[in-house]
Amino acid sequence: MQLVVRVEKADPPAHEPVCEAAAQAVVRLLSDPRAADPDGEWHGAVREWETRRIRKVTRRARGVRWPEVQELPGVTVGHAGAEVRAFVPGPMLDVPQELAKLQVAGLDLADGGAAPLPDAPYAAIALNPDVRITTGKAAAQCGHAAQLLLRQAGRKDAAAWLEGGLRVHLARDVPWKTCVKRAAVAVRDGGFTEVPPGTMTAVAWVVR
């Protein structure tokens, strides 16, 4: 799955809203009727992707590149000054030209501080503070965590989160050990970029 973050030179978004928007974009795409319904136009592509080892790649776009990618199938989320679009997944060797020409590496944005808590229910996602990763990598890890939570959380938690609009909060004021204890799911990275295989990068749980 490709994720694209809008990063304009004059007014770039902050790290935290990008991570939250990426997580929301992923789960909103997965819960969209075009993906979730067996007869939906995206259902086959999503199902094929989820039967394999899931992978997400974060890219950046600015200027005319941003409206260009809006024409490709996907879901865009605007959140707290950040805009992220998640695209219908496909083979890494068959990435559309509009996406393939966008930069992948080096997306690292300024810390914007902890965001206010959204109304419950919401997904709390915590990134491992002992693992140094860029904003692009962090956005992908938050997308992974949200996806796992949507698929693996308890039925009541998942239903409440879905019905509540799939809000996401990047938890930064809770000790990591406490986050791990609370977590319903944990992300262990595949090791393609930035961290060794098996590194626990993020955890997530539903707050109701």
Would you place residue 114 in the very low, low, confident or very high pLDDT band (cuts 50, 70, 90)? confident
Would you place residue 121 in the very low, low, confident or very high pLDDT band (cuts 50, 70, 90)? very high
Residue 70 structure tokens: 């809006």
The predicted pLDDT at position 43 comes to 98
Q: Nearest 10 degrees: CA dihedral of 121, 116, 195, 9?
A: 120
Burial 29-64 (b: 16+ CB within 10 A, else e): bbebebbeeeeeebbebbeebeeeeeebbbbbbeee
As a whole number of angstroms, the distance between CA 91 and CA 128 comes to 29
Identify the weakest region by mean pLDDT among 36-50, 109-123, 157-171.
109-123
Element (H, E) at 26: helix 15-31
The predicted pLDDT at position 33 comes to 98
Cis, bond preceding 121 (omega within 30 deg of 0): yes
Over the stretch 148-196, which tens digit does the pLDDT of each residue have?
A: 999 999 999 999 999 999 999 999 989 999 999 999 999 999 998 999 9
The predicted pLDDT at position 149 comes to 98
Element (H, E) at 150: helix 135-152
Domain boundaries, the chain: 2-100, 122-207
* DSSP tag of 15: H
Q: Examine the pLDDT at 113 and tell me if it is beyond 80.
A: no
| 3-class state of residue 131 by DSSP | coil
The predicted pLDDT at position 44 comes to 98
Order across the sheet with 185-188: list the strands.
Answer: 168-170, 122-127, 200-207, 185-188
Residue range 96-114: mean pLDDT, rounded: 92
**Domain topology for 122-207:** Bit1 (3.40.1490)
Q: Average per-residue pLDDT in the chain? A: 96
Residue 85 structure tokens: 């679009």
The predicted pLDDT at position 105 comes to 84
Amino acid occupying residue 120: A
Are the beta carbons of 46 and 188 closer than 8 angstroms? no
Q: Examine the pLDDT at 115 and tell me if it is beyond 90.
A: no
Are the beta carbons of 80 and 20 closer than 8 angstroms? yes
Sequence-distant (≥ 6) Cβ neighbours of residue 119 within 8 angstroms: 164, 167
Residue range 69-91: mean pLDDT, rounded: 97
Would you place residue 15 in the very low, low, confident or very high pLDDT band (cuts 50, 70, 90)? very high
